[in-house]
Amino acid sequence: MSAPEPGEPSWGRSHALAIDHALAVAYPEAWCELRYSNPYELLVATILSAQCTDARVNQVTPALFARYPDPATLAAADPKELEELIRPTGFFRNKARALVGMARAIAERFAGRVPATMEELTSLPGVGRKTANVILGTAFGIAAGIVVDTHVARLSRRLGLTRQSDPEGIEGDLQELFPPSSWILLAHRLIIHGRRVCTARRPACDSCPLSHLCPRLGVAEATIPPTSAGRRRR
């Protein structure tokens, strides 16, 4: 078995499902590490998590949610006060603008409720497809797509699940390989694996629970059953 050719997303669905199973065994508790109690809070925390660790976002959000408990209060926020509250998360001026814009749009167009469709979410200022997938999957339990952040992108390529580099291309390949029932948890598990084991600079291959499935280590052909199903088109 050789590495996937250009244009082929991966070794196939059997390989993908074996990875899905190994991730489920290794990280049965995997879930979003941002703290939130409703879709609005998760949306705010996700916007703040750009270029910032979840741990740092979690340090900031308790005071933020107390000061702005809903989109209406955030929409009316004093920019300077908001910027000071979120300063530790970095890029705080841009994030403050995005938060207020998002909150105003929700207050004005969606009666103060976070919408639950991809189209509506991505119509909000500061909300792209990745953020929308986080909200739909984690807050609403809707598997509209797969979250592709830096960890999911890196691991998908390392594990031979895609040869693409743009997030939407990677997401499309993953959607073809994995059943929708696994999309939400797959992303959470890949993100945890990327943080704990398969880091960008120093992947811990010696202790990796996926090493028997990883092309980077020259996976044995016998460990991967032949691809059984044609690709599902969406």
Catalytically active residues, by annotation: 130, 149
For residue 104, the one-letter residue type is R
3-state secondary structure of 124: coil
In this complex, which beta carbon is closest to ligand SF4, that of residue 23 or of residue 42? Answer: 23
Say if CB 101 and CB 125 are below 8 A apart: yes
47 or 210: whose CB is closer to ligand SF4?
A: 210
* Amino acid at position 109, single letter: R
At 210, phi and psi to the nearest 5? -110, 5
Crossing angle between the packed helical segments 79-86 and 54-67, to the nearest 10 degrees: 150
CA distance 191 to 133: 14
Q: Within 10 Å of residue 157's Cβ, how many Cβ atoms?
A: 18
Residues 170-173: contacts with CB under 8 Å, at least 24 apart: 171/129, 171/133, 171/145, 171/146, 173/9, 173/10
Work out how close the CB of 46 gets to ligand SF4 at its nearest, in angstroms, rounded to a whole number. 25
37 vs 207 by CB, closer to ligand SF4: 207
In whole angstroms, the minimum distance from the beta carbon of 14 to ligand SF4 comes to: 17
Residue closer to ligand SF4 (CB basis): 9 or 71: 9
Positions that interact with ligand SF4 (CB under 6 A): 158-159, 197-198, 203-205, 208, 210-211, 214, 216-217
> Residue 156 CB, nearest distance to ligand SF4 (Å)?
10
Minimum CB separation from ligand SF4 for residue 203, in Å?
Answer: 4
Q: Minimum Å distance from CB 5 to ligand SF4?
A: 20
149-154 long-range CB contacts below 8 Å, 24 or more apart? 149/187, 149/191, 150/194, 150/200, 151/190, 151/191, 151/193, 151/194, 151/195, 151/198, 152/187, 152/190, 152/191, 152/194, 154/194, 154/198, 154/200
**CB closer to ligand SF4 out of 145 and 203:** 203
